[in-house]
Structure 1
Amino acid sequence: MTAWYAAVDLGASNVKAVIGDSDGTVVSRAGRRTPHGPDGDAVVDAMVAATQEALSDADVTAEEIVRCGVGSIGPLDKAAGELGRSANLGPNVDRVPLADPLADLLDADVTVVNDANAGVIGERFYADRSPDDMAYLTISSGIGAGVAVDGRVLSGWDGNAAEVGHFTVDAGGLTCGCGADGHWEAYCSGTNIPQHARYVHETEDVPTGLPLDEIDAKDVFAADDEDPLAGRVIERVQAYNAAGVADLVHAYAPLVVYVGGAVARNNPEQVVEPVRERLPELVMTNVPEVRLTTLGDEAVVRGALAAAITASDSSRRR
């Protein structure tokens, strides 16, 4: 009899749900756009609806689910199984219950992990060979990392270990969505690249043909070779990304850094390659391999599935 598992990826832009077996093979997928207000109820409804659709498409009942995994943007309250106030969901969304609504739907235990931790769990679970010391870095709407040291994925007491997007790369610089100044995420995340462009335009007087009030990160990357401001911003983004990864390497000593997230996946030559090229000049310890994620845009949801499977295996062994 097949053991079935559910998994949900709660991202800043999308909610994804999958159903898979104990080998991690995904048999159905469903998704929704992530609601941004007026409160957390809409987010819960989207997670539940996507999971119900994935169950229906897989022809699997809720009662057949052994365990569910959730990979979520942060900050997390690990003990409560909740997402705390997140800048990615708007100012009115205070706390979002993650574990309880899915446990009620499935009558199963729910494992909640940070989305970047889900990424590193997924890379370790699905890769043919994966070192005990590695990291998964996501550069998307936000920036974060999951880290494995000596074969153990670091979670932290509250589930928020390795929040590298909030490394300070420019003390007193641009304000991050978290409210603090100078964080890596404030300069290089998909959400904040537009404010970075406006800042450079104002402070360095770089000319541009871009409509600065309307641009998004895609516009800046697309105009890299054509527009002086876009080129300057991408140059700065590459420098900050390399500095951030160097800090991650000095902190955790990974042998491999997998890079995922929409910004990285959609612009690997402008995001991943420059990090790989610059690291040897910035790192005084071992220089890791820097690779694009092997799991594409499903790194988090498949990592959440792997987290559910491995948690269930651990429970059975006890």
Structure 2
Amino acid sequence: MAMQQPVLALDIGGTKLAVAMVTPDGNSHGFLSEPTHKQRGPEQVIAHLFEMGQRSIAAAGVGNPGAVGISCGGPLDSTAGILTHPLHLPGWINIPIVDLTQSEFGVPAVVENDATAAVRGEHRFGAARGHDTALYLTISTGVGGGSVVDGRLHRGAAGNGGEFGHVTVQRGGRPCECGRRGCLEAYVSGTNIARRAREALSSSEVPSILRESTPVRAQDVAAAAASGDTLARDIWDETTALLGQAITDLVNIFEPNIVVLGGGVTRSGAQLLDPVRHIVRTTAMPPAAAHVDVVLAALGDEVCVVGAGALALDLMEATRV
């Protein structure tokens, strides 16, 4: 039956490409994840992405896709189907990704900001299911955000609403990729947790097991902090404090039922979640504080892929006669 037709989901990350076939029950099939190699430029990366998509269709064994959903960091123009200038993909300017995808696979396609896709995935199939108002933050190479407000996906006037990674947490603070200073992303993304640790190591003589890590990665900082390393713990405590502060501000604005955290940095689990949840519950304004929970993404590492699939399923449902 047409109602059961699967979709192809493509996720274009700064570090990795991920693809899968997604069935209407939210399950992924033929999942593949491979390095982006963004230095090769858009033409080669997109060719690789499409080749992965064809492999996924063949491996999944669930039939041909009825639509394709694409998730990618912004800025992008979801209405025109163009990646205008994604911050995590330098040199990608006005790439007509939807037209290219439709030409490759012969079915309708849709593109959305990766965190917008992720919040749709979590809302349709994951931790935010059944909640009218939900926020999602992806804490990975960068920090993105997405929201469902009163049951509807919030896109904003130009389709890039929900850039939660670019709220200011330190006035005049660290420089951010977006060109401003003091953004949340400049402190709590995996990239910047590692960078802050490297800066602390070079500017101090404090003993730290991180001196044995080359290069220092965010997961090294988390592990060292958990083991009691003083330098790493200071970095980690600042990370959770600033993330908790930013989420509290968002809770005060949106008054959501639930805030979902995903992305690579959240693999640290309770070490990240517990202090952030405590900050939100004790500092958000009542009654919002009593009505919100902060949880980890139920869809795990596949959240953006399943989210892209959810958007493609939405597209099929909207266009079905």
Q: Could you tell me the TM-score, scaled by structure 1's length?
A: 0.91
Structure-2 residue corresponding to 1:50: 52
Moved more, 242-251 or 162-171: 242-251
Equivalences for residues 153-302 of structure 1 within 5 A: 153-200=153-200, 205=204, 207-209=206-208, 210-211=210-211, 214-224=215-225, 225-264=227-266, 266-285=267-286, 286-287=288-289, 288-302=292-306
Q: Give the deviation of 1:236 after TM superposition.
A: 0.4
Q: Distance in 1 between matches of 2:164 and 2:269?
A: 20
Q: Distance in 2 between matches of 1:13 and 1:199?
A: 22
Residue equivalent to 1:113 = 112
Q: What's 2:66 paired with?
A: 66
d(CA) in 1 for partners of 2:279, 2:61: 49
Paired residues, what number?
312
Aligned to 1:104: 103
- Which amino acid is 1:140 matched to? S
For residues 3 and 38 of structure 1, what CA distance do their matches in structure 2 show? Answer: 34
TM-score for the superposition, normalised by structure 2: 0.90
Unaligned regions of 5+ residues in structure 2, if any? none
Alpha carbons 1:117, 1:147 under 8 Å: kept: yes
Alpha carbons 2:258, 2:293 under 8 Å: kept: yes
Q: What CA distance in whole angstroms lies between the structure 2 residues aligned with 1:183 and 1:156?
A: 20
**Residue type at the aligned position of 1:65:** P
For the residue of structure 1 that corresponds to 2:99, the secondary structure is: helix
Instruction: Verify the 8 A CA contact 1:206 1:229 in the aligned structure 2.
Output: no
**More displaced, 75-84 or 173-182?**
75-84
The answer to whether the 8 Å contact 1:206/1:228 transfers is: no
Q: Percent identity?
A: 33
AA at the equivalent of 1:26 = S
Task: Give me the whole-angstrom Cα distance separating, in 2, the residues matched to 1:231 and 1:186.
Answer: 18
* TM-superposition CA deviations, 1:220-277 (whole Å, max 9, x none): 111113422111100100110101111221222211111111101x101221111111
Contact map agreement 2:198 2:216 (CA 8 A) in 1: no
2-side partners of 1:193 and 1:110: how far apart?
35
Which piece of structure 1 moves more, 163-172 or 66-75?
Answer: 66-75
Structure 1: gaps of 5 or more residues: none
8 Å contact 2:13–2:36 — kept in the other structure? Answer: yes
